[in-house]
Amino acid sequence: MDPLDSWRGVLDRWSLSPDGAPFATPGSDLLPVRLDGRAAMLKRANTAEERAGAAVLRWWGGDGAAEVFAHEGDTVLMERATGTGDLMNMALGGRDDEATRILCGTVEHLHRSRPGAPATVLVPLRDWFGSLAQVRDADPRYRRSWEAAESLLADPRDEVVLHGDVHHDNVLDFGERGWLAIDPKCVVGDRGYDYANLLTNPDLPTAADPARFARQLDVIVAESGLPRERLLRWVLAFAGLSAAWFDEDGETDRRESDFDVAGLAATHLGSAS
């Protein structure tokens, strides 16, 4: 079977030409294409979460995020990143501050007030933290993160449509268009949540380095305007949630980085009290 067979219909309807091999992520099938000579990407959602995220991406309208050119059912045709910049490489190559500032600027842009709402059901942050709530009594480290989450969820501030998964591989270089976000979730809540993952990315080998944590904490506080103590509580809460997700996926070894970051946040909170 030709790997392009499942794409033939949409390729014909939208007058697209393949521009690379199809590939897949856990929630989507993707195909690089050309649209009137322009680099684009076909993305077909295979999960409800991916479909909802596509609705958020459409709502942003290319403002701070990749533009969606067309959509049909579970498939979107979107702008493709062609720039040579890479935030993970920057973070690991001596330009960590710059990478964090780019991420913060992208988050701030996405959080701007916009008319209307995405054409999907948005998940409140309290529901988003359900996985952590379920394991809060399984480990003292989960309990510590849940207590931070519970206090924040009871006192929301600056509620916005969130990206929900901001990290170094979800903000890409789109050349002349600058750095833009991809792959949003479908979450609504306190804006501080979107900044927590910048300090908690388990795919960043230096995430749990104490010196790096302290330095990037300073950068995020300066760029976001968030109170330091509140940001630290979001980091503590989100690190526990991320660890709980790894537990659900059977990747218990990967949760240790999250627990280490949670410990750093707790230490800084203790120093500030």
User: For residue 271, what pLDDT is reported?
Assistant: 72
User: For residue 272, what pLDDT is reported?
Assistant: 58
- Domain final residue pick, 79, 102, 122: 79
Question: Rounded CA gap, 158 and 209, in Å?
Answer: 30
Over the chain (273 residues), the average pLDDT of each successive run of 10 is 87 96 94 96 96 96 97 96 97 97 98 93 97 97 98 97 97 97 97 96 89 98 98 98 95 93 97 60
Residues 231 and 102 occupy one common structural domain = yes
Question: Rounded CA gap, 134 and 125, in Å?
Answer: 15
User: For residue 265, what pLDDT is reported?
Assistant: 98
pTM equals 0.94
User: For residue 202, what pLDDT is reported?
Assistant: 79
Residue 142 lies in a domain: yes
User: For residue 203, what pLDDT is reported?
Assistant: 83
Mapping DSSP onto H, E and C, the string for 220-250 reads HHHHHCCCHHHHHHHHHHHHHHHHHHHHHCC
Q: Which residues are catalytic?
A: 165
Cβ burial, residue 70 (10 Å; 0-12/13-18/19+): middle
- Domain final residue pick, 50, 79, 108: 79
Question: Rounded CA gap, 44 and 23, in Å?
Answer: 11
Instruction: Show the DSSP H helices in 93-201 as ranges.
Output: 96-110, 125-128, 130-134, 140-153, 192-196
Which residues are bridge partners to 18 per DSSP?
Answer: 33
User: For residue 82, what pLDDT is reported?
Assistant: 95
- Domain final residue pick, 63, 79, 95: 79
According to DSSP, the β-strands at 179-181 and 171-173 are antiparallel
Domain that holds residue 96: 87-271
Residue 113 lies in a domain: yes
Residues 109 and 134 occupy one common structural domain = yes
Residues 54 and 117 occupy one common structural domain = no
Residues 75 and 92 occupy one common structural domain = no
CATH classification of the domain holding 180: 3.90.1200.10
Tokens 């493709």 map to which residue? Answer: 80
